[in-house]
Amino acid sequence: MKIKRSNAYSKVTLYVVAAVFIALILLPSFASNNVMERLTVLFIYIIMAAMWNTLAGFGGLISIGQQLFFGLGAYATIRITNMAISPFVALLIAACLVGLLSWPISTFMLRLKAGEFAIGMWVLASIGHLLVNLDPLIQGETGISLIALNQYAIESRRLLIYFAALVSMSGLLLGLFYLLRSKAGIAMQAIRDNEEAADSIGVDAEKVKKWFFIFAAFGTALAGALWLAQASSFQPKTYFSVQWTAYMIFMVLVGGLGRFEGAILGALLFFVVETWFAATGVWYLVGLGAVAMLCSLFFPKGIWGVIETRLSITLIPVGYQVTGLKPDSHSKNK
Task: Spell out the residues 6+ positions from residue 239 whose beta carbon is closer than 8 angstroms to its own.
Answer: 67, 70, 71, 74, 75, 224, 227, 228
Is 334 a domain residue? no
Which residue range is the domain that position 315 belongs to? Answer: 2-326
Is 217 a domain residue? yes
Q: How confident is the model at residue 320 (pLDDT cuts 50, 70, 90)?
A: low
Is 331 a domain residue? no
Whether 229 has a pLDDT exceeding 60, the answer reads yes
Mean pLDDT, all residues of the chain: 85
Answer yes or no: are the C-beta atoms of 45 and 270 closer than 8 Å. yes
Whether 72 has a pLDDT exceeding 90, the answer reads yes
Whether 109 has a pLDDT exceeding 80, the answer reads yes
Three-state DSSP at 196 gives: helix
CATH number at residue 204: 1.10.3470
Number of domains in the chain: 1
Answer yes or no: are the C-beta atoms of 236 and 128 closer than 8 Å. no
With 0-12 / 13-18 / 19 or more C-beta atoms within 10 angstroms meaning exposed / middle / buried, residue 114 is exposed
pLDDT of residue 42: 95
Residue scoring higher pLDDT (331 or 91): 91
DSSP letter, residue 140: G
Chain segment 194-213, per-residue pLDDT in tens:
777 777 777 777 888 888 99
Distance CA 84, CA 78 (A): 10
Q: How confident is the model at residue 2 (pLDDT cuts 50, 70, 90)?
A: low
Q: How confident is the model at residue 330 (pLDDT cuts 50, 70, 90)?
A: very low
Q: What is the pTM of this model?
A: 0.90
Is 333 a domain residue? no
Is 288 a domain residue? yes
